[in-house]
Structure 1
């Protein structure tokens, strides 16, 4: 299995290094990594990882800022990542942590690491162990903060 990692210099934590570390804990995989300036650069980076470097799955890692214009840029990047998935028939795990999701820098750094690690595990499961994800269907899994749990009837 070949996993692509696309991360950004705009991020305030090295999410790419965290993803690589976590992937190596869970599977013997080849890793292709590329770093781009910002989140709107991620769709083409992911497409190149899939088409040119033959990745089976890609993680797109980024940290949009907390301002309204940053949220618009994150939406545009997300739309581009969805389009890339459809064009390549390959999963791209979007791992965005918005700067305003945390109350301070310490919590932000923790959230960025936790969400990245949990999604790295999801990437391995999606390609190598899809039944593990099927068993978690409807359980309210969240990456980063506490799981929501299933809704009660």
Structure 2
């Protein structure tokens, strides 16, 4: 049975971790381990600890960068940390960020946070159980949250 880590934040304005967990529970038989940290810059170490100390096979890291210019910098730093943690552990951490300015209003932002969390949870399931499905979807313009783009 695989072990999946879920790392999320208190800064997010929606419970992205709960959405991902609900999707995972409905899609795969796995041990789920959740940790919640204050913000996105805390996600890299939380994810690395899930991989190394809790022996997770994969982690989904969920967070919401704010809309201010400094928040964009923090998101970049967090992404760099997540990439470093992946390279240090040789395991995937699926980064799921929804920037606060991605939605035109709170309703659309909530929808996007829910959908992106669930769709990336499905990516985790595919990566663990059906990697050939990921290959079949290569180049198809898959987008998590909003409508898929058309392939060229």
Q: Same fold (TM over 0.5)?
A: yes
For normalisation by structure 1, the TM-score amounts to 0.98
> How many Å apart are 1:87 and its aligned residue?
0.2
**What stretches of structure 2 of length at least 5 have no aligned partner?**
none
2:33 maps to what in 1?
A: 32
1:149 maps to what in 2?
A: 150
- Matches of 1:17 and 1:127, distance apart in 2: 20
Matched, 1:15 2:23: no
The 3-state SS of whatever aligns with 1:101 is: coil
Report the RMSD for the aligned CA atoms in angstroms.
0.4
1:62 maps to what in 2?
A: 63
> How many Å apart are 1:89 and its aligned residue?
0.3
- Per-residue CA deviation, residues 93-125 of structure 1 (Å, 9 max, x unaligned), is 000000000000000000000000000000010
> How many Å apart are 1:55 and its aligned residue?
0.3
1:111 maps to what in 2?
A: 112
Length, aligned pairs only: 151
- Per-residue CA deviation, residues 33-75 of structure 1 (Å, 9 max, x unaligned), is 0000000000000000000000000000000001100000000
**What stretches of structure 1 of length at least 5 have no aligned partner?**
none
Give the alignment of 1:44-123 within 5 angstroms: 44-123=45-124
